[in-house]
């Protein structure tokens, strides 16, 4: 069966280069970003603040992965995170693309950092540029999913990094952190999960790889997407006995 064609926006950013090879096992990717790819990969030059560029890059695609972000600029954070998300949604609707994977930062730690069993509480992004603009982008996704035939799976992260190559001693594993292999798997599921499995056409998932603390649970991601960490990464942080 032919692979689905997937537009990867933000292909040259801090996250996407680490998952591109993994995603290419499953999808025919079209890479796109406003800046050059760090590994010299060929990509479409796309400014997400320009609707026409987003539309052209999305033409012919089956799904869009939006990994674009601006974290701190008072103007560009709105342009990239809010207007950019709007452009992705609008382009998807115009082109009949029915699946988007949207991404952003976690929005629960500040309010629930002392709690456990944190599953799906209402987000508390704060007023900082990064949090509030990504929160607004999530609301745009929710509104478009309600109004149009587009399903949007939103992944929220705290930390992202490579799986340790060897056991780590003397340290606890980081909370709410996902390893690249699991992010690839989550993206695959986000693109391929049946539309009927996404209640309301829009769902948000806090994603990570390390279980055991009991703080940030993955039950919803498992129930709705079928996501679970590929390996028990937390076992690399075990204290030796004897």
Partner 1 sequence: MEVLVTGAASDLGQQVAAALGHEHRVRLLDDREYPVPFGASACRADLLAADEVWGAVRGVQAVVHTAMPPADLPAAGLRREQALLEWYTRGTHVLLQACVDAGVRRCVYLSTLEIFRSYPDDVYISEQWRPLPPVQMEVLGPYLGELVCREFTADYRLGVTVLRLGRLEYEDTADPHERDLMWLDPRDAARACAGALRADLSQEVHSARRWRVLHVCAQIPNAKYLTQRAREIGWAPAHNFATVWGGKGA
- Which stretches of the chain bind partner 1, using CB under 8 A? 51, 74-75, 78-79, 82-83, 86, 90, 124-129, 131-133, 135-136, 139-140, 143-144, 146-148
Q: How far apart are CA 112 and CA 45, in angstroms?
A: 39
Which CB sits closer to partner 1, 24 or 120? 120
Which CB sits closer to partner 1, 139 or 222? 139
Name the minimum Å distance from CB 147 to partner 1.
Answer: 5
Name the minimum Å distance from CB 78 to partner 1.
Answer: 4
Spatial neighbors of 99 by CB under 8 A, at least 6 apart, are 62, 63, 64, 150, 151, 152, 153, 190, 191, 195
3-state secondary structure labels for all residues of 86-148: HHHHHHHHHHCCCEEEEEEECCCHHHHCCCCCECCCCCCCCCCHHHHHHHHHHHHHHHHHHHC
Name the minimum Å distance from CB 22 to partner 1.
Answer: 33
Name the minimum Å distance from CB 134 to partner 1.
Answer: 12
Name the minimum Å distance from CB 56 to partner 1.
Answer: 14
Which CB sits closer to partner 1, 50 or 224? 50
DSSP secondary structure letter of residue 152: E
Which CB sits closer to partner 1, 125 or 229? 125
Contact at 8 Å (CB) between 9 and 30? no
Spatial neighbors of 237 by CB under 8 A, at least 6 apart, are 167, 168, 171, 172, 173, 210
Which CB sits closer to partner 1, 40 or 122? 122
């Amino acid at each position: 069966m032919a692979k689905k064609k997937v537009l990867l926006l933000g292909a040259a950013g801090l996250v996407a280069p680490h998952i591109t090879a993994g995603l290419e096992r499953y999808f025919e990717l079209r890479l796109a970003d406003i800046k050059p790819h760090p590994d010299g990969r060929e990509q479409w030059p796309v400014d997400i603040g320009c609707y026409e560029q987003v539309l052209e890059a999305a033409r012919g695609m089956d799904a869009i992965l939006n990994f674009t972000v601006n974290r701190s600029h008072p103007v560009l954070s709105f342009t990239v995170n809010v207007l950019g998300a709007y452009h992705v949604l609008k382009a998807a609707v115009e082109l009949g693309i029915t699946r988007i994977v949207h991404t952003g930062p976690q929005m629960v730690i500040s309010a629930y950092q002392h709690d456990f069993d944190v599953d799906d509480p209402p987000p508390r992004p704060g007023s900082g540029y990064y949090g509030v603009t990504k929160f607004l982008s999530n609301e745009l996704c929710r509104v478009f999913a309600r109004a149009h035939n587009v399903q949007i799976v939103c992944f929220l992260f705290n930390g992202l990094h490579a799986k340790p190559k060897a056991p780590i001693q003397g340290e606890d594993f980081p909370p709410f952190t996902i390893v690249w292999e699991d992010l690839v798997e989550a993206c695959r599921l986000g693109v391929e999960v049946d539309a009927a499995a996404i209640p309301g056409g829009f769902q948000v998932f806090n994603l990570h790889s390390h279980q055991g603390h009991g703080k940030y649970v993955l039950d919803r991601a498992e129930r709705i997407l079928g996501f679970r960490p590929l390996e028990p990464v937390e076992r690399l942080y075990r204290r030796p006995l004897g």
